[in-house]
Structure 1
Amino acid sequence: MTQSSGRPQAPIRAVIYTRISQDRTGAGLGVERQRQDCQALASRRGWDVVETYSDNDVSAYSGKPRKDYQRMLADLEEGAATVVIVWHTDRLHRSPTELERYIDLCERRGVSTHTVQAGELDLANPSGRMTARILGAVARQESEHKGHRISRARMQRAKAGQWGGGIRPFGWGVPTGEMKTKVDRKTGEESEVPVLDMSKAVPEEAAAIETGHDILLSGGSLKAWVRWLADKGITSSRGNPIRHMDARDYLLRARNAGIAVYKGEEIGRGSWEPLVSEEKHRAVVAILKDPSRRTTPGPQPRWFGSLIYRCGRPGCTAYVYVTQSGGLKHPSYRCQTAHGGGRNAAVLDRYVQDLIIERLSREDAQDLLAPGPEGVDVAALQLESEQIRRRLTDVAAAFGAGQISMPEFTEASTVARTQLEGVNKQLARAATEDPLVPLIGAPDVRQAWKDLGLDRQRAVLKTLLNVVIKPARTGRMPDGSYFDYDSIETHWLR
């Protein structure tokens, strides 16, 4: 191109910007097609493209940072180009705030915008700015409608028990016999994988989830369930050993109780069969989320009566623990205050356990069971829980629509959540199991006792018996042993 004087005219410097909201394959084909069309426009107009900016798989509407867009704005501020080429205006903006900043920059730096699909946007005059704003408003409306449709579809899928994507949830996903093509986003390679029905439970994993609930509800610990899973050879859905935090997440999942969840909020009953009852689920959640529960308890006790038995020395009621220091021949119970000698831990534990097993083997052992919680109407509590959750959803919707203020929203949601916490505690009372239940009526109480595991055995001890260790006599006892059983004082709690 030449000026009327015949002297050569400097080529117009232009930049290209491309963006695609979603790139499922990761191959970048969408942005490459945009770049080719923009380059063709530049060639027809005789513009010199000095830089190409591309944000792949980034939505303008989502609010996520667009690194190359920000880099382009910085370069335009420095005078890198006077023309921006895009495939369509909606590739640049779907936010009015972003558009106004872009208009301001273009006015100050003399930058014009050209599109492959919608022609030139002259932001230097009111008509061009009005056109840009209208196009931006239309694009934003389209995004909002699309987002609403996607949200409704995802909520519907959540209600049907379909998984929203990601790693298969432990306990769920039975092969349907069909196959689908999966594309690796990093390499673009395709592979055939089985289609899973996420509303169907995996039998072994479902049984493990139920066992986890029973362990916690009968006084056991999360660590005990993790050990149980390892002993059974049960791994995560990816084939890895199940860690403490994984196990906690599995048991907190509302899906186990047939409750549908969308965006972290419960949205009602799902259309699949639950693995556990809702009252069991609520009870386990209450246990795991109890603020008084220590999440980092340190080393777990390795002895049956450690820090449960008490010292019976006059004037002392401290707990005893097991040690082998101070020249003791065997691991022995010693008072926390460090006075007095030790008591052979293995012998004492065996003696106390034999007492418990003998008592639970009697015909009247049924009388030891604690009565169920009185006045707990589980059905009514579950209905109240659903009503409170619905109220929380309604309050959030009212705030989003501008019908209530932030203080009103905060107050209403705080009250509702406090009420919900109370309902969940009542449900927990209804579902918590007496630790004696697995032992009462068992054909072989001793074997049932061994099957419990240490932490559940300790829960039975705390429920059933107080053990006080008094100062022992020295020398050989009348039965020929050197262990003074008469100095072990026991008090039945039931």
Structure 2
Amino acid sequence: MHPRHLTVNRSRSSSTSAGSASSCGFCPQIVQGRAPLGQAVGRWSDRHRPGAVPEEGNPREHQTPSRLRSQRARPRATAGRCEQRRAPGAAEPEPDRRALRRTAARPPAEPPRRRGRRRPAGAAQLAPATHRAGAAQIPCRGARRGHRRVRHRHHGHSSGPRAYFCQNDHVTSSKTSIPRVAIYARQSVEEDQGIRQQLDDGRKHAADHGWTVVHEFSDNDTSGSKERGPKTDWARMLSAFDEDEFDTLIVTETSRLTRSLTDVLDVTPPRRAMRVIVIRQGIDTLVADFQLKLLVLVAENEVKLKAQRAARYAADRRKVGHPTSGKTPHGYRWVPAGQRDERGTRYVVDEAEAEDVRQIFREFLAGATLGQIARDLTSTGRLTRKGARWHSSTVRRVLMNPLYAALLPPAQPTGQHSMAAIDLEACTPGAWQPIVTRDDIVAARSRLVGVKPMHAGTARRWLLAGIALCGVCRKPVKSSRPVNHPTPRKDGSVAPAQRYHGYRCHFSRNGDVIDEFVSELCIQRLSQPDAVDLLTPPDDEFDLPALHTRRDALQAERKNVFALIGSDPSRLAAAQDRLEELEEQLREVDAVIAKAAERHPLADLMGVEDVRAWWESRTLARQRAIVQLLMTVVIKPVGMGHRPRRPQDVLASLEITPLI
């Protein structure tokens, strides 16, 4: 019998008894010399081809050629087991002695070499692979700290668990290390319900796997396709991972994580070896991160296509004067699509808020400071749309916004929006009702554009603070809050001390009495018959229709110059001087229009019958402007212990000089 036949016969199970039927189907034929080895193996491969039906009663049908090869390498002590299948009384075959000697002289087989790069001399020995059924291996944490990571797969197995090793000779298994989980939630709109749902889904997924949630991060009203700044939870999440506070991140969808491939590279090797689990897509970067990157690429491309469609739609919408659906300015209300008129108007005037806008423009053009306007609005209980106090910066944005004059500004690059950079000449007439006139916008912007908003003026709380003069040094007096000192009563009790409004310089006087007296003087002066002369401006000072006609002619000439240049850049140098001259003339005309649009402090008094009610309804800034227009007030010291209360005593302690 040939030795190769003996090698194949070793695959026979030892549990087969002598004289039993053949279980492998070809070993007895080889023993008896009726079938060569090649034909027997061919029949074996036919029975084990894809889709072949295994024979009944054959317990070895599941064995593969790799299994048979591994059994050939076993010791030859079991070579005679196939003799148990010989028929009773059959003669024992004589072995081929030359074949046996040739087989014995053969050198031992070398172990298979593993393919890959050769390890350099002196490199650390890789840790041996330990394959345990069902043990899910995770990447070595050392790879995040710069260690070299090598993937090892045991040779001789077509499938099975994989382990990752590093040169520090350690391996991390999920059975020995429980992931420290962080949850991240994000959405582009400001809606708390969506964030709560994402966090709840992440907590449930972690609880189902028995993981501990150590951090929760959420970015509400944050875009996933734009760069996220250092103040977002995304930046805090990356910082927490760098501090080794967690190693696994859970998100509900890839779009909730990001819509930019740049952000994916921030959480994947080689930058960070963070394990990312996406619940709904079933993604786990511990297994592979290809699907995560692919879905993010698809989302990023979808964002670009959507932006192109939106830009085209915005251009068409801007031609007819319709604004975008962003934050509606204070004074207007956004109209939903189902409630618009035949013109498709997006903005309608909210009269309660529009009155705030009109007051801001009216007081500013009358000479009030930004801080004073903000204080007057807040002190009367008129707050912003979000219920916050007015500030000088908020008032400044209102005064510079051309939307209040029904002018639609051109689109600006994302993240570079600036009210000061808006060119009123490039604005499109809007398809909504204006709250103020175009002249008001021009006048307000002429005083604000180009001026650094570092100091918006002092917001005064009292009528004569900074206006009245000291009778000793002739400098403006300051407001103060002195404390009174009550005298003891007859029974010995003392009233509690209280603070009161006062003016101080070389003295300290009660300010309430002085303010009341000066207000009464202003009311009496404005109630006189000759007060109408204070309200009539000179007829020949400004000619607004002529100014607007001149301005329209300059704009038309500038357009003609640009049309003449066309697409020929060589003509630009020749027309540069004329363009600069036209720009200078336009600025001069705008300055005159802005001066004409400035409000006279008494402009609202025309036709008023009840002057006292009109005075009490004016803001503090307007009352101060009227006092400065009508008179000069000088406060004198009265001496220790003197408290003027009667009008004649107060008048004796003041020096009033009428101006008109």
Q: Deviations over 1:101-134 (max 9, x none)?
A: xxxxxxxxxxxxxxxxxxxxxxxxxxxxxxxxxx
Q: Matched residues in 1 for 2:437 and 2:361: separation?
A: 10
Q: Which of 291, 298, 305 is equivalent to 2:464?
A: 305
- Residue 354 of structure 1 aligns with an amino acid whose one-letter code is E
Q: Deviations over 1:322-367 (max 9, x none)?
A: 33549789744332xxx3x334422322232222222211111122
Superposition RMSD on alpha carbons, in Å?
5.8
Q: Matched residues in 2 for 1:58 and 1:388: separation?
A: 53
Counterpart check, 1:438 vs 2:604: yes
The corresponding residue for 1:333 is: 503
Q: Matched residues in 1 for 2:337 and 2:397: separation?
A: 29
Distance 1:328 1:86, change over 3 A: closer
Does the 8 A contact of 2:465 with 2:477 survive in 1? yes
The alpha carbon displacement at 1:385 in A equals: 9.0
Does the 8 A contact of 2:322 with 2:431 survive in 1? no
Does the 8 A contact of 2:365 with 2:597 survive in 1? yes
Q: Which of 528, 532, 538 is equivalent to 1:366?
A: 532
Q: Which of 237, 243, 246 is equivalent to 2:390?
A: 243
- Residue 437 of structure 1 aligns with an amino acid whose one-letter code is A
Does the 8 A contact of 2:261 with 2:297 survive in 1? no
Q: Matched residues in 2 for 1:23 and 1:318: separation?
A: 56
SS at match of 2:427: strand
The corresponding residue for 1:485 is: 651
The alpha carbon displacement at 1:442 in A equals: 1.6
Q: Matched residues in 1 for 2:631 and 2:330: separation?
A: 38
Q: Deviations over 1:219-268 (max 9, x none)?
A: 3454565566567766545x534532444433432111011122254532
Larger strand share, 1 or 2: 1
SS at match of 2:649: coil
The corresponding residue for 1:191 is: none
The corresponding residue for 1:212 is: 360
Does the 8 A contact of 2:513 with 2:645 survive in 1? no
In terms of mean alpha carbon deviation, does 226-235 or 302-311 score higher?
226-235
The alpha carbon displacement at 1:72 in A equals: 5.3
Distance 1:220 1:413, change over 3 A: same
Q: Matched residues in 1 for 2:465 and 2:377: separation?
A: 25
Does the 8 A contact of 1:333 with 1:342 survive in 2? yes
Q: Deviations over 1:266-303 (max 9, x none)?
A: 532223221110011222334455737764556x3332
Distance 1:442 1:151, change over 3 A: same
Q: Deviations over 1:418-439 (max 9, x none)?
A: 8876655433212110011223
Q: Matched residues in 2 for 1:418 and 1:8: separation?
A: 86
Counterpart check, 1:253 vs 2:253: no
In terms of mean alpha carbon deviation, does 413-422 or 284-293 score higher?
413-422
Counterpart check, 1:68 vs 2:68: no
The corresponding residue for 2:255 is: 56
Distance 1:425 1:433, change over 3 A: same
The alpha carbon displacement at 1:173 in A equals: 2.9
The corresponding residue for 2:593 is: 427
Distance 1:308 1:293, change over 3 A: farther
- Residue 268 of structure 1 aligns with an amino acid whose one-letter code is T
Q: Matched residues in 2 for 1:473 and 1:270: separation?
A: 64
Does the 8 A contact of 1:305 with 1:349 survive in 2? yes
The sequence identity of aligned pairs, in percent, is 23
In the superposition, the TM-score normalised over structure 2's length comes to: 0.45
Does the 8 A contact of 2:258 with 2:264 survive in 1? no
Does the 8 A contact of 1:286 with 1:428 survive in 2? yes
SS at match of 2:270: helix
| Superposed counterparts of 1:95-174, under 5 Å | 150-173=310-333
Question: How many pairs align?
Answer: 378
Q: Matched residues in 2 for 1:146 and 1:402: separation?
A: 35
SS at match of 2:603: coil
Q: Deviations over 1:182-227 (max 9, x none)?
A: xxxxxxxxxxxxxx95233233333332233222222345456556
Distance 1:253 1:477, change over 3 A: closer
- Residue 463 of structure 1 aligns with an amino acid whose one-letter code is L
- Residue 303 of structure 1 aligns with an amino acid whose one-letter code is W
Q: Matched residues in 1 for 2:627 and 2:380: separation?
A: 26
Q: Matched residues in 2 for 1:75 and 1:472: separation?
A: 78
SS at match of 1:56: helix
Q: Which of 432, 443, 448 is equivalent to 1:283?
A: 443
In the superposition, the TM-score normalised over structure 1's length comes to: 0.57
Distance 1:209 1:347, change over 3 A: same
Higher relative contact order (CA 8 A, sep 6+): 1
- Residue 150 of structure 1 aligns with an amino acid whose one-letter code is A
The corresponding residue for 2:630 is: 464
Q: Matched residues in 2 for 1:268 and 1:179: separation?
A: 24
List gaps (5 residues or longer) in structure 2: 1-64, 67-111, 114-154, 163-186, 199-250, 274-285, 487-499, 571-576
Q: Matched residues in 2 for 1:23 and 1:475: separation?
A: 67
- Residue 461 of structure 2 aligns with an amino acid whose one-letter code is R
- Residue 470 of structure 2 aligns with an amino acid whose one-letter code is C
Name the larger-Rg structure.
2
- Residue 362 of structure 1 aligns with an amino acid whose one-letter code is Q
Distance 1:413 1:200, change over 3 A: farther
Q: Matched residues in 2 for 1:286 and 1:455: separation?
A: 21
- Residue 387 of structure 2 aligns with an amino acid whose one-letter code is N
